[in-house]
Amino acid sequence: MSSINVQVPHQLSKEEAKQRIQKLLSNLKEEQKDLISHINEEWTGDDCTFNFTAKGFDVSGTLQVNPDHVAITGELPFALSFFKGMISDVIEQKAKTLLT
Q: Which domains does the chain have, with CATH numbers?
A: 2-87 (3.30.310)
Q: What is the DSSP string of 27-55?
A: HHHHHTTTTEEEEEEEEETTEEEEEEEET
Split at pLDDT 50, 70, 90, the class of 57 is confident
Average pLDDT over residues 10-23: 94
Split at pLDDT 50, 70, 90, the class of 96 is very high
Report the mean per-residue pLDDT for the chain. Answer: 89
Q: What is the pTM of this model?
A: 0.84
- Which residues fall within 8 angstroms of residue 64, CB to CB, at 6 or more apart? 46, 47, 48, 70, 71, 72
Radius of gyration of the chain (CA): 13
